[in-house]
Structure 1
Amino acid sequence: MTISNSPILGRMLRPLAQTLRTELLEAVVELKPSSGDEERYHELADKNAEGTLTVEERKELEGIVAANTVLSLLRKEARETLSQR
């Protein structure tokens, strides 16, 4: 099971989202990678599709994907919490 399809992470983040002030939840919803990080992700994804990633680049890509997954889940919980207020 990968981080992206593990329901436990959402359940772990939910109580955190529910305790945050509205202003913080709104800030969490707006969180996104920098343009440089986005460019790097696309560069690595292209190399991955071509089969030319180095071991180090694969680790970097996996880290980016994991971070984006956690960020997406946190943003989802923040949006859901805001909609209930």
Structure 2
Amino acid sequence: MSSNVIGVLDRALDPLSRSLSLEAARSILELRLDDQARNRLEELATRNTAGQLTPEELAEYDAWVSACDLMGILQAKARALLTQRKAA
């Protein structure tokens, strides 16, 4: 995902992050890919590095990377919210 897309998502998700409960923020911090998804992503990443992905696999890999980027943005916002509320 390009840095422009990540920046737009980050900004677009601001209202959501401000409305999270502490419990929801903690739950977001616990989000992880399951073993099957993580293994698939690792397989695709390895094959991508070697230039061995089909166009369909490359699209799947890009989708996984985008999903991980989105999870990262949500987790960063949840972490910031918890830190902010702890300081208040």
Alignment partner, residue 48 of structure 2:
48
Partner AA of 2:79 in structure 1: R
Alignment partner, residue 12 of structure 1:
12
Alignment partner, residue 77 of structure 2:
77
Alignment partner, residue 61 of structure 2:
61
Partner AA of 1:45 in structure 2: A
- Shift of residue 18, structure 1, vs aligned partner: 1.2
**How many corresponding residue pairs?**
83
Q: Look up the SS of the partner of 1:42 in the other structure.
A: helix
Unaligned runs of 5+ in 1: none
- Shift of residue 20, structure 1, vs aligned partner: 1.1
Asked if 1:32 corresponds to 2:32, the answer is: yes
Q: Look up the SS of the partner of 2:74 in the other structure.
A: helix
CA distance in 2, matches of 1:78, 1:11: 14
Q: Please list the CA deviations of residues 3-45 of structure 1 after superposition, one character each: whole Å capped at 9, or x if unmatched.
A: xx13221111121011011101100011111111110011001
CA distance in 2, matches of 1:14, 1:81: 11
Partner AA of 2:42 in structure 1: H
RMSD: 1.2
Partner AA of 1:10 in structure 2: D
Runs of 4+ in 1 over 4 A off after TM superposition: none
Q: Look up the SS of the partner of 2:52 in the other structure.
A: coil
Q: Percent identity?
A: 35
Unaligned runs of 5+ in 2: none
